Each structure stands twice: as structure tokens, then as C-alpha cells.
Structure 1
Amino acid sequence: MSQSPEKLIQEAENKSKPVTGFLWKLISSPEDQYEEAIDLYVQAAKLYRLGTGSGKQDYSKAASCYVKAADVSFELLQNFNEAAMNFVEGYKLYKMDQEFEFAIKCLKKGIDCFTVKMGQFRRAANYQFELGEILELQLQDYSEAGRAYKMAGDWYLQDNALQLSNKCYLKYADLLSLQNNSENDIFDSIKTYKKLVENSLSKNTNTWGLKDYYLKIGLLQLVLTDTVAAERTLEEAQQKLNDDKDSKEFQLLEKLIECYKEQDLDLMSQSLMQFDKFQKLDNWKTTILLKIKESLMNTGEDDLL
């Protein structure tokens, strides 16, 4: 590893060229040559990753070397497992250098190797969730992030990893309901939260999560101005979770249903302040409550949140 990374890359490029000529094929195996090219690319990546001599670490160049190694594995050797792992290494390094667009491209290629080429959906689900996180947190592409989370949830569910699946579906439902694109998005969110309730009840998971799911369902039904559905949700929640029927979550939902029926903004304000003392309103609840508020007030009313 005393050579410069640039020299190693040049050697790798020469060795990654398709082998031609009958005599050359008798002397050297094309597969061996391509494996050597991959090793050289990886060596160069490590040098860039560590920094050589007086140079500094260059994660982007290291990532590029891993991508080139992956391309050789994929296209010339059809070694999809090796290609996937090198794509993942490239993704990690691009992410470290905050080159998120390139990181996403690498990650998607790795995921395709795991799924399309190898059928390893459980293995791919972890990276699919990471894809959702980058799309959500770094690029603020909530629509694509939601789709990524949902797909990861589907793959986890296929492998009976219920807890991980629920985590993904919750992210999907939260993002979908906040996008405010259409009523269909809200209906799909409600459907997903109900699925989380069913999954949780079947496994007897902690009631805190269940209370929150029921509250979210009821709040979204109020966004749709469907107080009857919200009342049914509250009744079901109190019946299924009898020990927690007087919980703060259910008290809040009951008060908000009353506020909506009576068109009482003052009562809504008081109810939210009481709940906020018990449990700080998070971004999701604040956003949804503002939507409920907008349907209860005319322009110019005092802000109650």
C-alpha cells in the first residue's frame, strides 16, 4: 500500500478492461484480472479514507473508488453480494462527506443488488430505512421518504420482524399525514395507524404506543370533520385499553370532540394547555391540531397553540 491512490486507480482501470485475445485468455483468467482490479480500487479507497503523506482524508474520492469496485463486481463478475457491499461502503463515505445525492444513488444500487439480484429483502430493509432517513432529514423530501419507510416496513413484515416493521409504518403514516396533499393521504394514514394498533394488540405491546396511535387516529378524523368516527375511535380505545380509559390521551380526544361539536375555541385552548403540562406536544400533534383549529375558526382569531 505504498503506492499513491492515483497509481492504484490507473492499474485498476487497466485490469478492469475486458480481456481480449485467445492467447491472453490461456495465460490469464479474466475473472482473476477483474478481482485484482477490485482489490486495487479498494486499496485506493482505503488510502483516500485514511489520508496519505501530507494529504488529508478525502471521503468522496474513497467513495468513488468503492463505486468503481462495485461496478466491476456487478458488470464483469456478476458477484452481486460483493457489488452490494461496495455500493454500501460508497454510500457511507459519501454520507460522511455530506454528498447526500451521491450517497442515495449508491444506497439504491446496493438495495437493488440485495433485492432484485439476490432476493435478500430482510437484509435490504435496514438500508431501505436508512434511505428514508436521508430523504427525510437531509433532503426534506417527505414524499419519497415516506415511500421508502413503507417499503422497509413491508420487507420487515415479510420476515416477521413486527417491531421493526411497526417503526417503519409509523414513520410512513406520520409523514403522509403531515403532507396535506389530499384527503386520501389522511385516509391512508388512518388505515396505517389502525394497522399498527392491530399489530400491537396481537403482540400485547406497551399501552403507551397504543394510546398514541388511537389519539392520532382520532385527531385525523377530526381533521376530516368526522366527529362520529372520532367518537367511535375513542369508544374502541377505551374498550380495548380499559385500564387506561381515563388516560390523558383519551381525555384530550374526548375534549377535542366536544370542542368541535360546540365550535368552542376557548375550551380547545384550555384542553391543549392542560395536556401540554402532562406531555409536551410534539411537532406532529402541533401541526395536526393547527389543522383542526383552522376548521374551527375564522381568520383573525387568536392563536391557541
Structure 2
Amino acid sequence: MSTSPEKLIQQAQEKSKPVTGFFWKIISSPEDQYEEAIDLYIQAAKIYRLGSGSSKQDYSKAAFCYIQAADVCLDLLQNFNEAAVNFIEGYKLYKMDQEFSSAIEALKKGIECFTVKMGQFRRAANYQFELGEVLELQLQDYKEAAKVYKMAGDWYLQDNALQLSNKCYLKYADLLSLQSKGNQDLFDAIKTYQTLIENNLAKNTNTWSLKDYYLKIGLLQLLLTDNVAAERTLNEAKQKLSDDKDCKEFQLLAKLIECYQEQDLDLMSQTLMQFDKFQKLDNWKTTILLKIKESMIGNDEDDLL
């Protein structure tokens, strides 16, 4: 058989045509023919993937072949597991070639096979998280990435994979609050952080991260101009985490609440500079703090009118 990937694809296309006519159905098994087509597509994919003879290494063409194989599995054989596996292979190869839109399309089809066709949500959750990462890191589609992470968290939680679901929900809350289009997004993010705290306290897991969750809630409440709620959060944090009541996170939140109450921008800047010397402010906190500062500047301007 020819090792030319183009010839293999041509043969696969012929083999993947639906068998018609009573005579041909007697002498030929449609399933065997479709399986041959899948094998031919995968052979062509491997040649493109590795490069062989006159064929240069080409991840995108290899990915295309896997997608074609997946379509035959899905549409002609109803073999959902094999279809999903081939869609995932196509996704990986498109991603290697930085064709992220095509990679996402292939990955979504694979996830659909796992969930809609087979009901394997736990298996799909791993790829759903990967989908969120591609949307977030490669396409900077933060709104869609947040939705994807939340769904992955739901699927993990259904399987009692608490640590993995927490990881997804944290990504969801972080992106939702950073890209908030209104107060409701901030309320939803706060609710998610609160759920993370409750889940971890109940299981006594990840207690080291709870200080950060409480700080994030307090900062979002200040962004919502509710310093009273932020004070309640701080008091609850000190009560629930009594061993850490004097931690730098709680000291920072207390000082920021004071700055907000006094509308003291200079004190706020000094407080953040002092904190940053000992514990670097991450991107999330820096972004939210800038928004809080902008709201305080806006309040100052309103007072002058």
C-alpha cells in the first residue's frame, strides 16, 4: 500500500462512503469498510506527524486526518469512545501548531462525545479544564473561559473530586471578578469564594489558602462600596481562622477598610507598598486594588462638585 499520505487519504475517503446496493451489502461488511477508512486516515496522520519521505512534518494536516477518522467513528460506526479519542488527538496536534480555534473545535467535539454520548463526565472534566486554559491563556477569552472552568468544577464535584473542583471554581471566581461587567458578576464571585471556604473548612483541607479567599472577598466588597460587609468578612475570618488572626492578609484588609472609610488614597498607597515588600501582590489583587482606588478617586471628584 502506498505510503503517500495524500493517497491514503484518498483511499480513506472512498472507504468512508456509505455502502449502497443489496449486492454490495452481501459481499462486503460496511463496518469493516469504515474501520479500514479509519485506519487509513490514522496512517496518513502518523506520516504527517512524524514526516516521512517526501512528506514534511505537518501537525495541522495530521490533526485533520484524526478529525476525519473521528467523524467516521461518530457518524458511520457510532463508536463514541474511539471518536472522542481521535478528536482529542486532533486537538493536541492543532494546539502544537498553534491553531487554537481549530484545536478548541476538536476538543469540544471530544468532550461532547464523553458527556452527551457516553455520560462520562469525570473523564470529560479533565479536558474541559484544558479547554478553559486554552481560552484563557491563548485566546484571552476570559468570559468564556470562566464558564468552562465552572462547568468543569461541577463535573468534578459530581464525582466527589473536591480538590479538582475547587481548583476549577477558583479559576472561575478569579476570572469572573477580573472581567466583571456589573455588580452581579462580583456577587457571584464572592459567593463562589465563600463556597470554597465552606467546603475546605468542612473537609479541613487547603486551610492555608482560606486567608487569601477571605482577603479576596473583602476586596470585592470594597469594590462594591460596602465597607460594612468587608468588616463582617474580616471579623468572620479572624473567628474561623483564629490561629491566623494576625496574618498579613487580615492586617492588609483591616488597613484597606480604614483607608476606604477615610477615603485616604495616600495611606492606601503606603499600605500597599509596605505589604508588597514582604509579600508580592499578584495580578488579581493588583487589578482589583486599582479598581478600588479608581472608585475612591471618583468619590473624591464627586465631593468636589
Q: TM-score range by the shorter chain?
A: over 0.9
Which residues in structure 2 correspond to 1:207-222 (within 5 Å)? 207-222=207-222
Whole-angstrom distance in 2 between the partners of 1:245 and 1:270:
22
Deviations 1:250-293 (A, max 9, x none): 00000000111111112111211121112101110000001111
Native 8 Å contact 2:47 2:55 kept in 1 = no
Q: Which moved more, 1:35-44 or 1:263-272?
A: 263-272
Which residues in structure 2 correspond to 1:68-107 (within 5 Å)? 68-107=68-107
Offset, 1:56: 2.0
SS at match of 2:45: helix
Q: Which moved more, 1:269-278 or 1:6-15?
A: 269-278
Letter in 2 for 1:244: D
Letter in 2 for 1:67: I
* 2:20 aligned with 1:20: yes
Native 8 Å contact 2:8 2:41 kept in 1 = yes
Offset, 1:2: 5.4
* 2:277 aligned with 1:277: yes
Aligned to 2:7: 7
Distance 1:167 1:295, change over 3 A: same
SS at match of 2:296: coil
Aligned to 1:205: 205
Task: Tell me which stretches of 4 or more aligned residues in structure 1 moved more than 6 Å.
Answer: none
Aligned to 2:267: 267
* 2:236 aligned with 1:236: yes
Letter in 1 for 2:229: A
Count of residue pairs the alignment pairs up? 301
Unaligned runs of 5+ in 2: none
Unaligned runs of 5+ in 1: none
Whole-angstrom distance in 2 between the partners of 1:32 and 1:156:
37
Give the TM-score taking structure 2 as reference length: 0.96
Whole-angstrom distance in 1 between the partners of 2:212 and 2:184:
21
Whole-angstrom distance in 1 between the partners of 2:80 and 2:275:
53
Letter in 1 for 2:210: L
Whole-angstrom distance in 2 between the partners of 1:8 and 1:132:
35
SS at match of 2:20: coil
SS at match of 1:208: helix
SS at match of 1:56: coil
Whole-angstrom distance in 2 between the partners of 1:292 and 1:139:
27
Whole-angstrom distance in 2 between the partners of 1:262 and 1:40:
72
Aligned to 1:258: 258
Whole-angstrom distance in 1 between the partners of 2:180 and 2:166:
22
Percent identity, aligned pairs only?
Answer: 82
Offset, 1:30: 0.5
* 2:56 aligned with 1:52: no
Offset, 1:299: 9.8
Whole-angstrom distance in 2 between the partners of 1:298 and 1:196:
32
* 2:139 aligned with 1:139: yes
Letter in 2 for 1:115: T
Offset, 1:298: 4.8
The Cα RMSD (Å) is 1.4
Q: Which moved more, 1:113-122 or 1:205-214?
A: 205-214
